[in-house]
Amino acid sequence: MFELSHEHHHHHTDNKKALLLALILIFTLVIVEVIGGLLTNSLALLADAGHMLSDFFAIGLALIAFKVGERAASKSKTFGYRRFEILAALVNGAVLVGISGFVLWQAIQRFQEPPEVAGGGVLAFASFALVINLLIAWIFLRGGDVKGNLNLRGAFFHVLGDIVSTIGVLVAGLLILFFNWTLADPIISIVVALLILTAGFRIVKESAHVLMEGKPPGISLQKVEKQLKELPHVHSLHDLHLWSITSDFPALSCHLVVGDGADRDALLREATHMLKKEFHISHAVIQIEGEGMECTTMCSNPHPSP
């Protein structure tokens, strides 16, 4: 338990450092792009600066979520505030969906009146923005737990959206500069919006799944049930529930029905060790009961759908 707690604390510390560095770089980039947009009279750069500003607030929210999530458990919040991370991820996903809708609306407007793009200057500022965005993505991948933490993953998708958006500005600028094809800007904007929309829906879906006490996607309920039944003296089980407190904190509860003569303490140790080793479930509440014991009202659904 100590090793898991230490590892979890280490991940959270790294995640906070990655988010703080990203906030500093994004704020710097917003200022640079606004100045660049004004100097070059580029709507594309100003729009990208607005996109970056929304990410500044979204990533700031993610950082606040990690800080709030560190608050200790209390009598009213027995699991602490860890699930605030999921709420922040849900907000981030919703923001992504909102941004994509705004970009799509702007793209439709630009089909009618394509904006002027000041070639060389836009390419220079967009190239700088791309380098900074790639650096931020590297910081997340190198220093944060993007794969295991849904909150950080939501912030990371914001950065990926920034990278794609900046590449779109670069490509549009090149096409307009060399071919005078002004429709490149709204076309690329639509592509960017669809990519952002996909990422936003994914984050919203995963966040809602956790909030609805859904099964962690990386754990098979059938395999958990099978291995629990294979433990010594276990005849059957019921009320098996598997859910996530937050993206990297799976939890389990169940009732094990055992035969006479079973060493219940030894069985409990073996069950919790197996769950921790095979499925990385460190929080398990297991009730051991003998055969013939009347089922309580909690046994109304002894065989939940996987």
pLDDT at 162: 82
Specify the pLDDT at position 5.
Answer: 44
Distance between CA 93 and CA 211 in Å, rounded? 14
pLDDT class of 279 with cuts at 50, 70, 90: very high
Rg (CA), the chain: 25
To the nearest whole number, what is the mean pLDDT of the chain? 79
Amino acid at 39: L
Fold type of domain 11-212: Alpha-lytic protease prodomain-like (1.20.1510)
- Report pLDDT digits (tens) over 183-226: 777 777 777 778 778 878 888 898 899 889 889 988 999 999 99
One fold for 11-212 and 221-290: no
CA distance 115 to 1: 59
Q: Residue ranges per domain, the chain?
A: 11-212, 221-290
Residue range 60-119, pLDDT digits in tens = 777 776 677 667 777 777 777 777 778 888 888 888 888 888 878 877 887 887 766 667
Look up the CATH superfamily of 221-290.
Cation efflux protein, cytoplasmic domain (3.30.70.1350)
| pLDDT score of 301 more than 70 | no
Q: What is the DSSP letter of 298?
A: G
pLDDT(288) > 80: yes
User: Of the ranges 45-59, 90-104, 215-229, 281-295, which one carries the lowest mean pLDDT score?
Assistant: 45-59
In whole angstroms, what separates CA 190 from the centre of its chain?
24
**Mind listing the pLDDT tens digit for each residue in 215-266?**
998 899 999 999 999 999 898 999 999 998 877 789 999 999 998 888 899 9
